[in-house]
Structure 1
Amino acid sequence: MRDSWMICGQKFALSNLCWPIEEDRAALRIIRALGYRGLELAPFKVFGGWDGVTRADVANYMDFAASEGLSVIALQGILFGANLDPIFLGPKARLALLKHATHVARMAGEFGGLPCVFGAPGLRKLLDLSASEADRIAIPLFRELGSIFKDQGSILVLEANPERYGCEYVTKTGDAVSLVGEVDHPGFRLHVDTGTVCINEENDEALEAYVGTAAHFHISEPNLDSLSITNPRHRQFGDILRSSAYADWISVEMKQPVGDWQTCLHRSAQVIEAYYDVQPGH
């Protein structure tokens, strides 16, 4: 079996969740050598917090990534470490979210205007609200968030999080499609995550219907495990992406493994090359 792979496509990225921050330069060199062109950032991991992150800090990290041949293409984990309460707890919780989102949107704008993934399953507890009651709160909230991000030249992208992750609101990709449609704001768009699709056993026909409307796309496994060449759905996902109108970055998301993170990176490239990369005749 081959022990190295090379991605040919121009718009594949990898999240920095997969390696220890002290190995950042080594990891960037590995992923660029594997053919990745983009880097998705969890800002808290890079900067160690939210307060006091300056425009110069952002510019310095962009220069650092560029020196290794990579572009910063998206932000994730944007609510991690912000000590926020669930959005349905009350107006005070939502005001705190809006205040924090202003910082994130500014940062995303300074990075060049990036999609920012809204996940945070713990903030999406229904707290005894019905689905319709939650929608009445969420729709204007996400519309306001969309305006905050659009004003900075970036977008907030909504990720469905399955119940397995402790989420109670927007747990299926179809739910995210519906909410994005109800909010109807250019600063608030759909994000698709294959781990969620797999956990929920969402069908290919549904994915085909909405993937072309997405603004961001994660290739992941359930529980953010390392990508597996034996997961049969990756071939289906790759075929759907290539035949769709989706033309933005495709980002691999994996948690840092207990063992060898370098092997995790190499195996991700194996999956990308086998199932998602540019194919003959495409």
Structure 2
Amino acid sequence: MKPALCDLALPTVDSHALLPGIRALGFQGIEVAPHRIDPDGGAGDSPSAAAVEAHRRTIGAAGLAVTGLHALLAGRPELGLFGDAETVRRTRDHLVRLSAVCRDLGGRTMILGAGGRRRGALSLKAAWLAGRAFLEDLLPRIERHGTVLCIAPLGRSGGDFVLSAADARILVDALDHPSLGLQMNSAALVDSGETGHAPFNAGRGRLEQFGVCDPGRTVPDPAGPGRHADFRRHLATIGYGGWLTLKQRPTAAPFDGVRRGWAVMRDVYLRQDGHAFVPPHRPQSFAQRTLPPAPAG
């Protein structure tokens, strides 16, 4: 697995100065929030090409890769998957522009927080139909960029649409599009009660990113509620080798917080002991079964 850091763990001012130290710790990638690319650029729909190129060069000079984008709708409360036709169109166009930004930064994944909340009296069935229609319109428009939109479950306390990894998998399977992938994160899995092996096995081959985080985006605690040791074994069992992204809020001393988060990544998720988790009551494979002796004669 390849360790990355979500840039919201860094301060908004002078965060670039911390990048060489982040690489020295062992991180290989940075996940970028679009509004962090050009914080002085005003409230435009997307950062300028010049700002994107400068951001890419700065991150690359520190020896880090851009993994992709997150917080795609941050600061844009007027946008969303659910609403009138104009709101939906503007949201689609915004995500298409950000897909091009992701490509130009050298990234691949765009993490969308499951569309947020349904608006008004929209029923759950209507929300699923609207969400599917939105994605069917969006995905062909970003496919040419080589990016992958990842639906990130929010957990039971985070919204009211696509709350669980199972919900996200149903949506991904229903559309079966190369530009739509899965993201899972430890906090949402705990919140939705999906701490067993089933969601990992179901996401085998489709999981694009795994987020390491605790509730409230505090610095992960290996002995806390995040079930990090269990999740590491689940990931090892399915042979996951993609980005493992630390997601936490900045602490009073930001680099100290990142260092503590890195210790969890290193000691829990990136340990090389070769032990894989075997789910309880897992059916034996054909090769493992003891076959009865062949009949005489």
Q: CA shift at 1:66, angstroms?
A: 1.4
Aligned residue pairs, count: 270
What is the CA deviation profile of residues 169-207 of structure 1, one whole-angstrom value per residue up to 9, with x for unaligned ones? Answer: 011111111111112211111111111011222131223
Q: Which position in structure 2 is the counterpart of 1:31?
A: 22
Contact 1:191 1:215 (C-alpha < 8 Å) held by counterparts: yes
User: Is the aligned partner of 1:74 residue 2:68?
Assistant: yes
Hey, what's the Cα distance between the residues in 2 that align with 1:231 and 1:142? Answer: 36
Change (3 A) 1:12 1:76: same
| 1:64 counterpart (58, 77, 99) | 58
Contact 1:101 1:148 (C-alpha < 8 Å) held by counterparts: no
Contact 1:229 1:270 (C-alpha < 8 Å) held by counterparts: no
Superposition map of 1:186-201 within 5 A: 186-201=178-193
Contact 2:37 2:51 (C-alpha < 8 Å) held by counterparts: no
TM-score normalised per structure 2:
0.84
Secondary structure of the structure 2 residue equivalent to 1:133: helix
| 1:91 counterpart (82, 85, 93) | 85
Q: Which position in structure 1 is the counterpart of 2:152?
A: 159
Letter of the aligned partner of 1:178 in structure 2? I
Change (3 A) 1:58 1:254: same
Q: Which position in structure 2 is the counterpart of 1:244?
A: 238
| 2:34 counterpart (18, 25, 43) | 43
Hey, what's the Cα distance between the residues in 2 that align with 1:16 and 1:140? Answer: 31
Secondary structure of the structure 1 residue equivalent to 2:13: helix
Q: Which position in structure 2 is the counterpart of 1:149?
A: 142
Contact 2:197 2:234 (C-alpha < 8 Å) held by counterparts: no
Hey, what's the Cα distance between the residues in 1 that align with 2:232 and 2:149? Answer: 24
If you compute each CA radius of gyration, which structure gives the higher value, 1 or 2? 2
Q: CA shift at 1:50, angstroms?
A: 4.1
Hey, what's the Cα distance between the residues in 2 that align with 1:134 and 1:248? Answer: 31
Secondary structure of the structure 2 residue equivalent to 1:129: coil
Give 5+ residue unaligned stretches, structure 1: 1-8
Letter of the aligned partner of 2:48 in structure 1? T
User: Is the aligned partner of 1:230 residue 2:223?
Assistant: yes
Hey, what's the Cα distance between the residues in 1 that align with 2:160 and 2:200? Answer: 25
Secondary structure of the structure 2 residue equivalent to 1:163: coil
Q: CA shift at 1:51, angstroms?
A: 4.0
TM-score normalised per structure 1:
0.89
| Deviates most, 28-37 or 205-214 | 205-214
Letter of the aligned partner of 1:251 in structure 2? T
| Deviates most, 169-178 or 224-233 | 224-233
Hey, what's the Cα distance between the residues in 2 that align with 1:159 and 1:51? Answer: 22
Change (3 A) 1:246 1:52: closer
Quote the RMSD (CA, aligned, Å).
1.9
| 2:7 counterpart (10, 16, 20) | 16
Change (3 A) 1:52 1:129: closer
Secondary structure of the structure 1 residue equivalent to 2:220: coil
Hey, what's the Cα distance between the residues in 1 that align with 2:240 and 2:78? Answer: 33
Hey, what's the Cα distance between the residues in 2 that align with 1:239 and 1:20? Answer: 32
Change (3 A) 1:45 1:79: same
Change (3 A) 1:163 1:28: same
User: Is the aligned partner of 1:108 residue 2:102?
Assistant: yes
Structure of greater relative contact order (alpha carbons < 8 Å, 6+ residues apart) = 1
| 1:184 counterpart (176, 179, 192) | 176
Secondary structure of the structure 2 residue equivalent to 1:218: strand
Q: CA shift at 1:54, angstroms?
A: 2.8
Q: Which position in structure 1 is the counterpart of 2:195?
A: 203
Decide which structure has greater helix share.
1
Letter of the aligned partner of 1:276 in structure 2? Y
Give 5+ residue unaligned stretches, structure 2: 276-297
What is the CA deviation profile of residues 30-69 of structure 1, one whole-angstrom value per residue up to 9, with x for unaligned ones? Answer: 2112100111111202312444623332222111111111
Secondary structure of the structure 1 residue equivalent to 2:184: strand
Secondary structure of the structure 2 residue equivalent to 1:17: helix
Q: Which position in structure 2 is the counterpart of 1:174?
A: 166
